């Protein structure tokens, strides 16, 4: 039976060999490589190196360090490709993650904007209904005229039915 430490809530010490790396730093490094490999400057530089390599190896017979069919050059390209492809894929994955976060943010902003727009549309509709129910100047003048006529009619009826002063 193995003996365990008293604190089971925290992990044991680091890895076996103590090798740690920062995934974010490695991701930024891979993005830098991917950006560099995707430039015209890199392609032109690589083309110049290949042309010089082949020219020196073919013309300088005594300096032929890489015999036909340029095995060492092929090894360099294979090594470069074996590292470049995963670095480019890692950079693409990181970009896809950033794009996914941005899409989620945009979706949230759009949902809030839609909710705000619907709220404002409801408020505008209620204001329109309230304004439609308001009396216009013409409505008020007509109602005042009707009330004035009714008051005048009541006064005349009172004058006709009221006994003269002093009688009673």
**DSSP letters spanning 2-23:** ----S-TTS--SS-SS-----H
Q: What pLDDT score does 26 carry?
A: 82
- C-alpha 22/C-alpha 24 separation (Å) is 5
Tens digit of pLDDT at every position of the chain (168 positions): 455 556 667 666 555 666 777 888 888 888 888 788 777 788 888 888 888 887 877 777 677 677 767 777 787 888 888 777 887 888 888 889 899 999 999 999 999 999 999 999 999 999 998 888 777 888 888 999 999 999 999 998 888 887 766 555
pTM beyond 0.85: the answer is no
Q: What pLDDT score does 19 carry?
A: 72
- C-alpha 72/C-alpha 65 separation (Å) is 8
Q: What pLDDT score does 167 carry?
A: 57
Residue 155 CA, chain-centre distance (Å), reads 75
Q: What pLDDT score does 86 carry?
A: 80
**Which residues make Cβ contacts (< 8 Å) with residue 12, sequence separation at least 6?**
5
- C-alpha 145/C-alpha 2 separation (Å) is 104
């Amino acid at each position: 039976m193995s003996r365990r430490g008293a604190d089971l809530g925290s992990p044991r010490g680091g890895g076996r060999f103590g090798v740690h790396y920062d995934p974010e730093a490695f991701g930024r490094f891979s993005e830098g490589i991917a950006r560099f490999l995707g430039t015209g400057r890199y392609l032109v530089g690589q083309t110049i190196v290949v042309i010089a390599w082949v020219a020196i190896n073919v013309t300088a017979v005594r300096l032929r360090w890489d015999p036909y069919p340029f095995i060492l050059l092929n090894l360099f390209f294979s090594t470069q490709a074996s590292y470049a492809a995963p670095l480019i894929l890692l950079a693409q994955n990181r970009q896809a993650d950033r794009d996914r976060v941005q899409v989620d943010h945009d979706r949230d902003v759009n949902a809030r904007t839609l909710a705000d727009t619907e709220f404002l549309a409801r408020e505008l509709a209620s204001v329109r209904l309230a304004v439609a129910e308001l009396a216009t100047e013409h409505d008020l003048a007509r109602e005042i005229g009707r009330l004035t006529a009714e008051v005048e009619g009541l006064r005349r009826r009172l004058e006709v039915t009221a006994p003269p002063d002093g009688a009673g």
